[in-house]
Structure 1
Amino acid sequence: MSERIPATNIPVKDRGSDAAPSGIFPRSFKGFYRNLRIAGGTLLFGLYFATVWLTWEGRQAVLWDISNRQFHIFGATFWPQDLTLLTAGLVICAFGLFFITVLAGRIWCGYSCPQSMWTWLFLWVERMTEGDRNQRMRLAQAPWSLNKVLKRSQKHTLWLLISLLTGLTFVGYFTPIRPLVADLLTFSSGASAAFWVFFFTAATYINAGWLREKVCLHMCPYGRFQSVMIDDDSLVISYDANRGDPRGHRKRTVSPASQGLGDCIDCYQCVQVCPTGIDIRDGLQIDCIGCAACIDACDSIMDRMGYDRGLIRYASQRQLSGGPMRLFRPRMVGYAAVLVTMIGALVWGVANRPMVALEVAKDRSLFRYNDVGQIENSYRLKLLNKAPEARQFELSAIGLDGLTLEAPETLTLDGGETRELAVVVSAPPESLDDVSSDVHFVVADLDNPDHRDERRSAFTGPAF
C-alpha cells in the first residue's frame, strides 16, 4: 500500500466575521518590512510612471511601436526578427521566479507583483479617506449618510484617478505618450487608443480596488504551484510554535513561563494586518503572499511586551525544527546556474545580434532559359537595416558552381529602412544535379562583415 503524504486540516475561518460583510479590513502598521516595501514600491512606481516620458535621440526612449514593428529600449531597437531574444528574456524571468521562490517563497508577490503594489496603494488611499481598520468597519456597517457618501466619493475618485494614470501610462508604452495625451485631451484620439486606455483603467480599478486579495486567492496560479517548488530550506514566513504555544493573554509584568504560556499573547494583530486575512499561526498557506505584514505587527507586540523579536519571521522548516540553515543545495544551485548561464547568453546575443535581416521568397514560376542558355530563377528579397543609422550592404548568392546574381553590388539602407528587391539568379545547366538544388542568399554589412544574415531557398531546373 502506497504511503500517504501527511496533511494537517486547517478549519476554514470567516475572514470577515469580526468585520463588515464586505470583506477584509487590514489594520495599518509600521515596521522594517513595511519600510522596505514602501522603498521598493516607490522605486518601481517611479520607473513605471517616469520611464515612459523619457526621450532618446528625438524619440520616446522605451516604446513598443507595434504599428511599425519596432521595440525601442533607449539606444537599442529590436525587430520581429529578434523574437528569440524576447523569448529568452521571458524564460529568464521564469527561471528567476523559480529561483526566488526556492529561496524565499512568495517574496515576489509581497514586494514586486503589480497586483500587490497597486492593492497596497489603494489601501493607503482607503485609509487616508475612510480611516483605519475600525473606522472603515464601522463606516461599512453604517447606513448611508452624507458623511458616508462624501468619504466613499473621495476614495473612489482617487482610485479612478490612479487607475486612469496607470492605464494611460501602460498604453503609452505602445503608443507615443505625448501625442496620446494631447489627442485624449482634445477628444481627437482614435477609437483603438481610447478603448485600451479605458480597458486598463477599468482593469486597474476593479483588480486593485474591488477584487484585491481575491485575485491572489482565486485567480493567480502562482500560489498553487509554489508548494511544489519550495523545500524544507526555503525561507518562508513562519510562526515559531515551539516558542509561541501555548497561546494566551497575560499581563506585561507576569512571566509567561509562570503561567505555562508561550510568547504568543493571542492578540490577533498578525491576522488583522494581513491583506489576505489568514492566520499565519496555522502554518504556511497558499493564501500567504509573503508580504511580512504579520512579522512587523508581531515584532511591535514583542517590543511592547519586552520579549525577543522573531516569533513570526522568515525561517525554513529545517530551522524551525532545530536544524541548520542550508542556503546552497542542489535545487538552488541548479536554478542559479541556469539563470546565470541564460543571462550571459542573452547579453551575448544582444551584443552580437546581426543588424541586418533578410527574407527570401521564390517566384511561383519554376525556371526559364536565358539568351546564353543558362537557367534562371526569380526571387523577391526583403532587406531590413536594424541599425539606427544608414549602412551599406553587399548581397550575394552561393551554393552552385557558376551561380550569378543579377542585383546591385552594394545597397545603402537608412536606419530602420526595409527594402524589397526583385532579383534573378542564373546557373549553367551542368551545375544542377537534381530538379531542385539549394542556394543561399547572403547579405553582409560592408563596415562589419560579422553582421550578416543568410537564408536558404530552392533553385529549380529541368529533369535530366
Structure 2
Amino acid sequence: MSSIQRPGYSATAHPAAPTRRAPVQRRHVAQWLVLALMLGLFYGVPWLRWHDAPLLLFDIEARRIHFFGLGLRTDAIVPLLWLALAGLAALCLVTSLYGRLWCAYACPQTVLTRLHRAVRRLTTLNGRAGGRTEPVLRHALWAAVSLWTGITFVGYFSPIGGLVGGLPAFELGGWKVFWIAFYALATWANVLFLHEQVCTYLCPYGRVQPWLTDAFTPSIHYDARRGEPRGARAAGGGSVMQRARGLLDPVTARDYVFRAAHPASAGPRPTFSDAHLGDCTDCDACVRACPIGLDIRNGRNDSCIECNACTDACDDTMARNGFPAGLILRTSIARIEQRPPATFRARPLLFGALTALFLVLAITGLLAAS
C-alpha cells in the first residue's frame, strides 16, 4: 500500500509551514540591541539630571521622589502609581498581541543571563592555560558587573555621585554598604546558578500568561502534522512536503505526540519505515538548546520564555537534512487551525483601554503636582 493511501495522511499543504529559513540573524541583532538599550537605561538613568536635579531618584532620607524635574513628596506619589499601572497594562497588551516578547528580549533576568553568557564566551581561552585562567577571569568579570549593578541599584535611592565618590575612601554608611553588597551578591548568585530557573519557579508572569493571551496570540509551536511520527532515518529521503506522504490529519498528529510524551501510559511507539516518518528526526537538538530543558514537541508549557533557541536548533537540523525550516515555528493556534482573522479580540481591547486610562490619570496627577 502506498504512503498516500495510509490512514491519517494528507497531501494538503500546510499554510503555517514556511518554505525558507526564518531571519535568525535579524532576531539575534534585535536581542542584542534590546540588551544594550536595557543595560544603558538601567546603568545610565541614575547619572542623568533634569534642571539640576536627578532625573529619577527615590530619596528615602529626604522622603521625596525626583521624577523629570518634579519633586514629589512620598505621600503624594499616586501619579507614579498610576504610571506603574499603565506600564503593567501595556505589558499585558503587548503579551496579548505578540506573546512573551518581554521574556525573550527585555526581562532583566533574560538580559543579565544573556550578558553573563557573553562574558563566558569572552573568557573562553585556548591552550593549556585556559583551563586554569578561565574560571578566575570569568568570576572576576562577573563579580565586577554584579558590584556595579549593586551600586547602580542603590543609586536609585541615594545620589550615585556620592556613592561612587565615597567608595575609594570607604566613607559610605553601613546601610548603603549592606544594600550594595546584598544586591551585588544577589545578582552574582542569581545569574550564575539559577539562570532561567527563576522564570520557571519564581516568576509569576508565566502562570498568568493564559489569562492574557488567546488563540490568536503568537507563540512557539511544534508542527506535529509535519513532524510526526518522529524518528531517525537515512539521509536523502526528502521532507514530507516533498513526498507523497503529505501531512498528518490533526487528530492523528496529536495521538503521536501523546504517545511520545507519555510512554509509560501509551506504551511503546510503533516503528515506521522511512517513507512514513515525519520530518522530526528525534535528534533532541531542540531539548538540548532549551535553557530549561523543555521539549516543545510535547506541547506548550507556561515555563517557555519563547527565546527561540529551540527554533534555531531545529532549523539547523532541517537544513542538514535538506528539509524546509519551520518545523518549530512562531505562530498562533488560530493559524494552525486555519481560523479566519478575528474582528474582535476582548483581551487586547481591555488592556489597551486600561493602558490609556492609567496614562491619563498619571499625566493628570503629574500636571497637578508640577
TM (normalized to structure 2)?
Answer: 0.77
Matching residue of 1:229: 212
Q: Could you tell me how far apart the structure 2 residues matched to 1:201 and 1:149 are?
A: 25
Q: Could you tell me how far apart the structure 1 residues matched to 2:344 and 2:311 are?
A: 25
Change beyond 3 A, Cα 1:173–1:261: same
Which amino acid counterpart does residue 117 of structure 1 have in structure 2? Answer: V
Q: Could you tell me how far apart the structure 1 residues matched to 2:204 and 2:364 are?
A: 33
Offset of residue 303 of structure 1: 4.0
1:125 aligns with 2:119: yes
Offset of residue 149 of structure 1: 4.1
**Aligned match of 1:204 in 172, 187, 197?**
187
Offset of residue 82 of structure 1: 2.6
Matching residue of 1:343: 359
Offset of residue 229 of structure 1: 3.1
TM (normalized to structure 1)?
Answer: 0.62
Offset of residue 215 of structure 1: 1.2
Matching residue of 2:31: 37
SS of residue matched to 2:157: coil
Q: Could you tell me how far apart the structure 1 residues matched to 2:369 and 2:68 are?
A: 18
Q: Is the 8 A contact 1:34 1:296 kept in 2?
A: no
Q: Could you tell me how far apart the structure 1 residues matched to 2:51 and 2:81 are?
A: 27
Matching residue of 1:63: 57
Runs of at least 5 residues in structure 2 that lack an aligned partner in the other structure: 1-23, 244-274
Matching residue of 2:146: 163
Which amino acid counterpart does residue 297 of structure 1 have in structure 2? Answer: A
- Of Structure 1 and Structure 2, the greater helix share is in 2
Q: Is the 8 A contact 2:223 2:328 kept in 1?
A: yes
Change beyond 3 A, Cα 1:146–1:327: farther
Please give the per-residue CA displacement for 1:176-202, whole angstroms capped at 9, x wherever unaligned.
111111111111111111111101101
Q: Is the 8 A contact 2:239 2:324 kept in 1?
A: no
Q: Could you tell me how far apart the structure 2 residues matched to 1:347 and 1:298 are?
A: 47
Offset of residue 122 of structure 1: 1.0
Change beyond 3 A, Cα 1:48–1:157: same
Matching residue of 1:75: 69
Please give the per-residue CA displacement for 1:310-336, whole angstroms capped at 9, x wherever unaligned.
222221112112223437412221221
- Quote the sequence identity (%): 36
Which amino acid counterpart does residue 190 of structure 2 have in structure 1? Answer: N
**Aligned match of 2:329 in 313, 320, 338?**
313
Please give the per-residue CA displacement for 1:130-189, whole angstroms capped at 9, x wherever unaligned.
48xxx9xxxxxxxxx985442221211111111011111111111111111111111111
- Of Structure 1 and Structure 2, the greater strand share is in 1
Indicate the structure whose relative CO is greater, using CA pairs within 8 Å and at least 6 residues apart.
Answer: 2
Which amino acid counterpart does residue 347 of structure 1 have in structure 2? Answer: I
Q: Could you tell me how far apart the structure 1 residues matched to 2:79 and 2:107 are?
A: 23
Q: Could you tell me how far apart the structure 2 residues matched to 1:300 and 1:328 are?
A: 38
Offset of residue 264 of structure 1: 2.5
Matching residue of 1:94: 88
Q: Is the 8 A contact 1:263 1:307 kept in 2?
A: yes
Matching residue of 2:338: 322
Please give the per-residue CA displacement for 1:437-463, whole angstroms capped at 9, x wherever unaligned.
xxxxxxxxxxxxxxxxxxxxxxxxxxx
Offset of residue 298 of structure 1: 2.7
Please give the per-residue CA displacement for 1:369-397, whole angstroms capped at 9, x wherever unaligned.
xxxxxxxxxxxxxxxxxxxxxxxxxxxxx
1:186 aligns with 2:169: yes
Q: Is the 8 A contact 2:213 2:347 kept in 1?
A: no
Equivalent residue runs for 1:271-420 within 5 Å: 271-326=287-342, 328-351=344-367, 353-355=368-370
Matching residue of 1:268: 284
Runs of at least 5 residues in structure 1 that lack an aligned partner in the other structure: 1-29, 136-144, 356-464
SS of residue matched to 1:52: helix
Count, aligned residues: 313
Please give the per-residue CA displacement for 1:346-372, whole angstroms capped at 9, x wherever unaligned.
223322x144xxxxxxxxxxxxxxxxx
Please give the per-residue CA displacement for 1:214-261, whole angstroms capped at 9, x wherever unaligned.
211111122222233322222111111112222233455331335223
Which amino acid counterpart does residue 135 of structure 2 have in structure 1? Answer: R
